[in-house]
Amino acid sequence: MDTTTIATALRREIEAGRLLPGTVLKQELLAKRFGVSRQPVRQALDRLLASGLLDRRPDRSLAVAGLTEEQARELADIRAALESMALRGALPTLGGSDLRKAQRLNEDLVEEEDPATLEELDVAFHRTLYGRCGNARLLSMIDELRRESRRAYSRQPKGSDERVILHAEHRAIIDACARRDEAAALQALSDHLQMTTARLTREGE
């Protein structure tokens, strides 16, 4: 197993919330887990450190980094700008079939237990609403930024208040789109992203 494969596996676990902020990653344990020497593990950890997913502690160990409140808000501000642009562009041609699909995805999302599948449903929900904006590059940028918010999914298990709130936030966006009320749709989206920020800043609690 090479450095890239190890780094990718650890990145996915961090983004999915399976490795929580503050978790110390020990080279010897990871080397045993992946069946390799310490060298590729050390190189993989260096990559994650450079990307900001790990922090170096005073004792020189490496631990999973959490998003600071400022970083989470910056991410939410950028997402709000891009996703509002996409929703505004899509709204004039958003059809009934699109809204029904979004509603089905939102109902499926309520019952999902796996954080990774929850992420897929949430991505599909937003893609359904934004897809008709006609700007493939904008959609790609949104998808890339959403990767940085993945850890929020681990904070909303099935049956939790967080999951109920997520469903209600989505419902508010759908209802506003159905009324062709652009201002209300954009406000509902903004409120939704602000709640995502709150989930991210609480991730280390």
Dihedral over alpha carbons 166, 22, 77, 192 (to 10 degrees): 10
Residues 36-63: tens digit of each pLDDT: 999 999 999 999 998 778 889 999 999 9
How far, in Å, CA of 63 to CA of 44, rounded?
13
Look up residue 60 and give its DSSP letter: S
Asked if pLDDT for residue 201 goes beyond 80, the answer is no
For 88-121, letters b (16+ CB in 10 Å) and e give ebbbeebeeebbebbbebbeebeebeebeebbbb
Asked if pLDDT for residue 153 goes beyond 50, the answer is yes
pLDDT value of residue 41: 96
Region 23-35: what's the mean pLDDT?
95
How far, in Å, CA of 64 to CA of 158, rounded?
25
Residues 70-123: tens digit of each pLDDT: 877 888 889 999 999 999 999 999 999 999 999 999 999 999 988 778 888 999
pLDDT value of residue 151: 65
Q: Does residue 133 contact residue 89 with C-beta atoms inside 8 Å?
A: yes
Q: Global pTM?
A: 0.75
Region 145-174: what's the mean pLDDT?
83
Residues 166-178: tens digit of each pLDDT: 999 999 999 999 9
Region 116-137: what's the mean pLDDT?
93
Residue ranges and CATH numbers for the domains of the chain are 3-64 (1.10.10.10), 69-201 (1.20.120.530)
pLDDT value of residue 204: 47
